[in-house]
Amino acid sequence: MERTQVAIVGAGPAGLLLGHLLRARGIDTVLLEARSRSYVEQRVRAGVCEHPTVELLRELGLADRLDREGLPHHGISLRFDRADHRIDLTELTGKQITVYGQQEIVKDLIAARLAGGETIEFEVTDVALHDLDTDTPRVTWTDATGAAHDLRCDAIAGCDGFHGISRPAIPAPRFYDHTYPFAWLGVLAETPPSHEELIYARHTNGFALHSMRSPEVTRLYLQVSPDDQLTNWSDARIWDELATRLEVDGDFTLREGTLLEKSITPMRSFVAEPMRHGRLFLAGDAAHIVPPTGAKGMNLAVADVHRLAPALTALLRGQGTEQADTYSDRCLRRVWRAEHFSYFMTTMLHRAPNEDPFADQLQLSQLRYVATSTAAATSLAENYVGLDF
Ligand code: FAS
Ligand code: PHB
């Protein structure tokens, strides 16, 4: 029988950051990950770090490379009616975002955990949770060598994403599930960005997003139908459609280049309540997912564990259960705010497949309002840069 204080299932942003937050509080953890280190470090996902996320990483001394290589951004552009409408995030909120790929954060958090003398069990299988209703829950698994493990702990953090085993361990959860009638085709292109900031474009053909990863690598997305296949999209067709949807009156040239990665991601909003059962606490995508239009997914995972670390610390040290008992309700307040903002950005910018003229006019009205009203732009900006924890 092995022993630790907190067993963390999943080494994505949630699990890795929770490990650092607990170590800073003197709490021992075991971190289990189903995939290999190289796989998790290469998985292309989020690109935008909210202001509170960057501040937290800095507080923990985990932002050195982010501060060197991350791209601070002070605004985004909404592109519609063949014109750019810039939202000045910093002028409206006093804050900024940082463009720094999720896989870079994962690399930094893994390296820091290992450098601190802690381990990560990669490529584990058969992870199972036991005795969640007791104050000595257990986790069993098989490690990469095939050896079986039985770990007793004080609490379990389910940070294993939407397809993990933790959420199913919550008895009688309540689910909220909304599937959008479109998906995102995402590409990573070996070419300098065509604009210095992000461009969210609403076009009659559909939505497009111009983002980036570095001065040499551009990240781009196209709205496609949920049942679309990558085989339908040659490189040439992708570039043609991006050029069409990003077209604007004025000086803009879409820089093309070699496509390094292509993927199609479905668009879905999902929330599972509660985020806790006994000594099991869910965080991140294990409990909720959002459409990526609001750049909230990874940042929500950070907000969850920012709240979970002190709650577990107090619980394990006998300093009261109030934070643990209110963890789920308090996380879900922020989760639902992010769900609404992501829904708002998604429905404002994506063309409904039935091409309803009424919906089109509502979209354009909302976009024109955000582009001309300081109040409306401030509301978008404060949600986009990230509300205080
Ligand atoms: P994660 O899914 O990142 O991590 C969970 C980890 O648990 C994984 O490493 C997994 O291998 C592991 N795991 C699963 N089951 C396990 C088990 N049984 N035992 C042990 N380990 C297990 N968000 C944005 O903000 N912008 C984007 O552009 C964006 N694009 C995305 C594209 C895709 C294809 C996906 C799937 C998500 C995207 N997201 C995006 C959302 C994404 O960034 C998530 O919000 C973020 O990864 C959440 O982090 P975690 O909660 O740590 O979950
Ligand atoms: C990205 O760069 O991957 C990105 C940026 C903003 C979003 C979604 C994805 O809203």
User: What tens digit of pLDDT does each residue of 302-330 get?
Assistant: 999 999 999 999 999 999 999 999 999 99
**19 in contact with ligand 1, CB cutoff 6 A:** no
**304 in contact with ligand 1, CB cutoff 6 A:** no
Shared domain check, 326 and 304: yes
Average pLDDT, the chain: 97
Shared domain check, 201 and 124: no
| Residue 376 located in a structural domain | yes
Nearest bound ligand to the CA of residue 263: 1
- List the CATH number of the domain containing 66: 3.50.50.60
**230-255 pLDDT, tens per residue?**
999 999 999 999 999 999 998 999 99
Supply the pTM of this predicted model. Answer: 0.97
Q: What local confidence, expressed as pLDDT, does residue 353 receive?
A: 86
**34 in contact with ligand 1, CB cutoff 6 A:** yes
Q: At what angle do helices 357-372 and 322-349 cross, to 10 degrees?
A: 110
Q: What is the average pLDDT across 127-133?
A: 98
Q: What local confidence, expressed as pLDDT, does residue 304 receive?
A: 98
Q: State yes or no: pLDDT of 1 exceeds 80.
A: no
Angstrom distance (rounded) from CA 111 to CA 188:
24
Q: Which of the listed residues 30, 40, 102, 262 should we mutate to test ligand 1's pocket, taking the one with most ligand atoms within 8 A of CB?
A: 102
**10 in contact with ligand 1, CB cutoff 6 A:** yes
Q: State yes or no: pLDDT of 173 exceeds 80.
A: yes
Residues of the chain above pLDDT 70, percent: 100
Angstrom distance (rounded) from CA 139 to CA 236:
49
Q: Which of the listed residues 76, 298, 339, 385 should we mutate to test ligand 1's pocket, taking the one with most ligand atoms within 8 A of CB?
A: 298
Domain that holds residue 328: 2-73+96-176+268-344
Q: What is the average pLDDT across 64-80?
A: 98
Q: Strands 29-32 and 83-88, how do they pair?
A: unpaired
Q: Which residues of 28-48 are buried (b: 16+ CB within 10 A; e: fewer)?
A: ebbbbbbbebeebbeebbbbb
Q: What local confidence, expressed as pLDDT, does residue 184 receive?
A: 98
**124 in contact with ligand 1, CB cutoff 6 A:** yes
**Tally of CB atoms within 10 A around 320:** 11
Q: What is the DSSP string of 138-149?
A: EEEEE-TTS-EE
Q: What is the average pLDDT across 350-355?
A: 88
What is the band of 354 on the pLDDT scale with cuts at 50, 70, 90?
confident
Shared domain check, 185 and 172: no
Domain tally, the chain: 2
| Residue 80 located in a structural domain | no
**Tally of CB atoms within 10 A around 388:** 10
Q: State yes or no: pLDDT of 118 exceeds 90.
A: yes
**40-56 pLDDT, tens per residue?**
999 999 999 999 999 99
Whether residue 73 contacts residue 211, with contact meaning beta carbons closer than 8 Å, is answered with no
Ligand 2-lining residues (CB < 6 angstroms): 46-48, 198, 211, 219, 292-295
Q: Which two tokens stand for residue 328?
A: 């789920």
| Residue 81 located in a structural domain | no
Q: Determine the atom of ligand 2 nearest the C-alpha atom of 211.
A: 2
Whether residue 223 contacts residue 208, with contact meaning beta carbons closer than 8 Å, is answered with yes
Q: What is the average pLDDT across 264-282?
A: 98
Shared domain check, 286 and 147: yes
Shared domain check, 127 and 41: yes
**217-232 pLDDT, tens per residue?**
999 999 999 999 999 9
Q: What local confidence, expressed as pLDDT, does residue 89 receive?
A: 98
Shared domain check, 135 and 39: yes
